[in-house]
Amino acid sequence: MIEIKLKGLGKRFQYDWIFKNLNYNISSGSTSAITGSNGSGKSTLLKCISGINPFTEGQIEYNLNGKEIPASDIFKYLVISAPYLELPEELSLTELLKFHFKFKDPIHDLDFGGMMRKMYLEEHRNKSIYQFSSGMKQRLKLGLCLFSDVPLVLLDEPTSNLDEKGSNWYLEMIGEFGKNKTILICSNDSKEYNFCKHHIHLEDYKLIQKL
Ligand SMILES: Nc1ncnc2c1ncn2[C@@H]1O[C@H](COP(=O)(O)OP(=O)(O)OP(=O)(O)O)[C@@H](O)[C@H]1O
């Protein structure tokens, strides 16, 4: 399982510090919520941790079962679902599952048919993703993450576009497939992260002055 150490982490866009002096240990196998108001920097922090965005200062250390992983390799160990990350919409559901699981191992004992049933998308196996509704796409994004055998799961606004049934389904999926993984959730909605044991509240890492 992955442990992540944020050491004096800071991120600045032009003259604005989004967060600064962020020291935090995310222990292996823990569930953590990244919270804060709109624009406080939740997605920015998640992108820094995932390696999508560079940070301005400080360090991020990743340890897998006690062995340090170079930041340049972290993409191999994580999955991410976020509203700003698009699915390849020209592919059908079946093609997308085949494509995704060329790069990530599926969790044990779940074939593509089983995944489609879990996401209640089995009737849409040959439909192109661009023909999916926003809720169907969201279930697919979450399924791709949770059915991957990786130690780090990053979820940004996991229930966006989901109806009540979908939101309950998300919690069930986390319960079933989120065990023994380090999970980070960016959210403003406590229903999405009630189960998280730890909270990183970004308002605590704001810098008062500007450059
Ligand atoms: N590429 C960028 N260039 C400049 N500023 C950016 C960039 N990306 C984000 N920001 C700024 O960083 C701040 C934090 O944005 P971010 O999307 O991380 O917030 P958030 O807490 O996830 O917000 P929300 O709850 O609305 O999703 C905002 O002021 C935003 O304008």
Q: Give the pLDDT confidence of 168-200 residue by residue, as tens digits.
A: 999 999 999 999 999 999 999 999 999 999 999
Taking a C-beta distance cutoff of 8 angstroms, is the pair 113, 137 a contact? no
Number of domains in the chain: 1
Q: Considering the domain boundaries, does residue 107 fall inside one?
A: yes
Q: Measure the CA–CA gap between 154 and 47, rounded to whole angstroms.
A: 9
Helix (H) or strand (E) run with residue 200 in it: strand 198-201
Average pLDDT of the chain?
94
CA 19 to ligand 1 center in whole angstroms: 11
Looking at the chain, the whole-number percentage of residues with pLDDT higher than 90 is 92
Ligand 1 atom index nearest CA of 41: 18
Q: Whose CA is nearest to atom 31 of ligand 1?
A: 39
Ligand 1 atom index nearest CA of 40: 21
Taking a C-beta distance cutoff of 8 angstroms, is the pair 25, 5 a contact? yes
pLDDT at site 66: 86
pLDDT at site 149: 96
Per residue in 108-165, pLDDT (tens digit) is 889 999 999 999 999 999 999 999 999 999 999 999 999 999 999 999 999 999 999 9
Q: Considering the domain boundaries, does residue 211 fall inside one?
A: no
CATH number at residue 171: 3.40.50.300
Range of the domain at 93: 2-205
pLDDT at site 208: 52
Q: Considering the domain boundaries, does residue 60 fall inside one?
A: yes
Q: Measure the CA–CA gap between 145 and 119, rounded to whole angstroms.
A: 12
The binding-site residues of ligand 1, defined as CB within 6 angstroms of any ligand atom, are 13, 18, 36, 38-44, 188
